Amino acid sequence: MTRKIAIQGIKGSFHHQVASEYYDSSVSIVECSTFDALVQAVLAGDCDQAVMAIENSIAGSILPNYALLDQNELVIVGEFYLSIQHNLMGLPGQSITDIEEVHSHPMALLQCKKFFRDYSLIKLVESHDTAEEALKISEKNIMSEEETQQVKRADMINAQNKASEKQQVDTGEEVPKNSGGIEIAMRPKVAVNVMRCQFPNEVVTELNQHIEDVLIPNNVDHSKGLVGQIRQHERSAQLTFPHEGDEVGEMFSGVLQRLAREFVDRSIGIECDTSVESMWTVHSYSGDYNPVHDHGTRTPMGVSCIMYLQVPRCIATLGNPAENFGGLNKSSGAVDGFTYLTWGTNGMRDINMLRPITEEYIKPEVGTLIMFPSWLRHGVMPFFGKEDDERRTFSANINVKLKEKLTGDHYRKDRSGEQS
């Protein structure tokens, strides 16, 4: 029977080397991103044994790993001494003068501290696994900090998929080719401007993965601060998504600011400066809901958004509330789990002229982001599904500072020809 051996890191790491040399070739490797995950794999029976570094002749004892052994009552059944030889690797054709950053495990960086004293301009960046960083840099051909950001930005907005000259979205309107892979549609101006953005699946996957790997294990539930009842399930939660000091958060913050500037320009035709005030995720389950509320920002004119990252089947299978995006008061059935927008009467009436248009229901669809003024009141309808059905959303508040004074002419101007 093939034994399963857990390691911290991926194949090609020092832990993998030890596992390969200590055990015979018939073992199966279980890759774990952290030592905590490695210990959990042992406790859960996902592996038979695990390889864990506990001592280093340069850096000394790895005390957190000793603590993991003690707290979980694990025992050491063998030991292996590995002579560590570090290598500074780059892409073909690079010399050390071309290198701006070195990404590696904190222990490896500590062991090479003396070497890097002679290269003070090189930035040392800690990561959870050296081998994984090497694989990432190699596969994505990352050569500098600037190019690293470009690659990640391309991943976030799927820029590698060449946009056609014009894209068709569900409003039937045309989208300029410079949308960067994100389909954008302005709802026809009725009472309040709302912009719909459709992100590629790759972006949704990356955000969900970051939430699972980083936010959920290391975050505090702030759902008590919600105006709603996101408390019906023990896993219901609101988690802060850092927009500073978090690589994915900073990247997506930049994307949101670009979209906010686009939203303001399409709404009133004024250039603006933007800054993200807050970002968070809401994890709701059967019975959860959020009553009508609005978001405040530090600036008089702010923008908020909601992005759908997970939608339960009990919601996804419901019919669309409107014939197309932005259609008003055309709900043709249940609106469980839908987002609803509500605003004051503006004198416009629906097709039968019986009541003013003051609300709109939006069906959650994975990858869809809805952007609207922060003052717009909105809520979330409850849904009733299986115990594990999760409705996961990402939200943000963005401050807006206009570069010119807003006048009535900006609202009166017909911008329909500019909408896309």
pLDDT (tens digit per residue) in 161-219: 433 333 333 333 444 434 456 767 665 545 578 888 988 888 899 999 999 988 888 76
Q: What predicted TM-score, i.e. pTM, was given to this entire model?
A: 0.52
What is the structure's pLDDT at 180?
53
Residue 219 resides in a domain: yes
Q: What is the pLDDT of residue 418?
A: 39
Same domain membership, residue 237 and residue 353: yes
Q: Which of 18-32, 180-194, 278-292, 343-357 has the lowest mean pLDDT?
A: 343-357
The dihedral region occupied by 35, where left means phi > 0, alpha psi between -120 and 50, and beta the remainder, is alpha
pLDDT-derived band of residue 333, with 50, 70 and 90 as boundaries? very low
Q: Which two tokens stand for residue 315?
A: 């919601």
pLDDT higher than 90, residue 30 = yes
Q: Cα separation of 49 and 52, whole Å?
A: 10
SS3 string, 384-401, reads CCCCCCCEEEEEEEEEEE
- pLDDT tens, 212-264? 988 888 766 655 555 555 555 567 788 889 888 888 999 999 999 999 999 99
**Domain shared by 346 and 224, yes or no:** yes
Q: E strands, 26-182, where?
A: 28-32, 49-51, 55-56, 60-61, 101-104, 123-126, 166-168, 174-176
Domain contains 15:
yes
Say which residues have a Cβ less than 8 Å from residue 306's Cβ, sequence separation at least 6. Answer: 339, 369, 370, 378, 393, 394, 395
- What band does 419 get if pLDDT is binned at 50, 70 and 90? very low
Q: Report residue 71 as tokens.
A: 């707290």
| One domain for residues 231 and 335 | yes
In angstroms, rounded to a whole number, what is the distance separating the alpha carbons of residues 133 and 136?
A: 5
Residue 98 class from Cβ within 10 Å (0-12 exposed, 13-18 middle, 19+ buried)? Answer: exposed
What is the model's pLDDT at position 6? 94
Judge whether residue 331 has pLDDT over 70. Answer: no
Residue 365 included in any domain: yes
At 143, the pLDDT band (50, 70, 90 cuts) reads: low
**Boundary residue ending a domain (21, 43, 71):** 71
Q: 10 Å Cβ neighbour count for 316?
A: 14
Q: What is the pLDDT of residues 56-91, one digit of tens each?
A: 776 667 778 888 888 899 999 999 988 888 888 888
Q: Is residue 95 part of a domain?
A: no
Q: What are phi and psi of 149, to 5 degrees?
A: -65, -35
Q: What backbone phi and psi angles, to 5 degrees, belong to 341?
A: -110, 145
Using the Cα atoms of residue 341, residue 345, residue 347 and residue 353 in order, give the sign of their dihedral.
Answer: positive
Residue 65's alpha-carbon distances to 11, 70, 194, in angstroms, are 20, 9, 51
Same domain, 337 and 226: yes
Q: What average pLDDT does this structure show over 252-280?
A: 90
pLDDT at 191: 59
Number of structural domains in the chain: 2
User: Do 64 and 190 belong together in one domain?
Assistant: no
User: What's 418's DSSP letter?
Assistant: T
Q: For 285-297, what is the mean pLDDT?
A: 82
Domain, as residue range, for 42: 4-71
More confident residue, 388 or 158: 388
* Closest alpha carbon to 29 in 18, 39, 40: 18
Can you read off the two tokens belonging to residue 165? 């000259």
Same-domain pairing of 230 and 355: yes
Kindly write down the DSSP assignment for every residue of 148-201, as one continuous string: HHHHHHHHHHTTTSPPPSEEE-TTS-EEEGGGTT-EEEEPP-SSS--EEEE--H
Assess whether 66 and 215 both reside in one domain.
no
What percentage of the chain reaches a pLDDT higher than 90? 23
pLDDT score for 173: 41
DSSP character at residue 240: E
**With contact defined as beta carbons under 8 Å apart, do 195 and 372 qualify?**
yes
Query: Mean pLDDT throughout 9-29?
Result: 87
Residue 159 lies in a domain: no
pLDDT-derived band at 368 (thresholds 50, 70, 90) equals: very high
List the CATH number of the domain containing 350. Answer: 2.60.120.620
Question: Quick one: pLDDT at residue 152?
Answer: 55
- Point out the domain boundary residue: 50, 71, 92: 71
Are residue 194 and residue 51 in the same domain, yes or no? no
- CATH classification of the domain holding 55: 3.40.190.10
* 334 shares a domain with 228: yes
Q: Compute the mean pLDDT over every residue in the chain, rounded to the nearest whole number.
A: 76
The pLDDT-based confidence of 281 (bands split at 50, 70, 90) is: very high
CA dihedral sign of residues 307, 311, 315, 319: positive
- Percent of the chain past pLDDT 70, that is, above it, reads 72
Q: What is the pLDDT of residue 165?
A: 32
How many beta carbons lie within 10 A of that of residue 258, not counting itself? 15
Report the range of poorest mean pLDDT among 55-69, 276-290, 314-328, 402-416.
Answer: 314-328
Q: Kindly tell me if the per-residue pLDDT of 150 is higher than 80.
A: no
**Per-residue DSSP letter, 320:** P
Task: Please write the tens of the pLDDT for every residue from 301-325.
Answer: 899 999 999 999 888 887 654 433 3
Which pLDDT belongs to residue 5? 94
Question: Which residues lie closer than 8 Å to 292 by C-beta, 6 or more apart?
Answer: 340, 342, 377, 378, 379
Are the beta carbons of 52 and 6 closer than 8 angstroms? no
Whole-number Å distance between alpha carbons of 300 and 283: 29
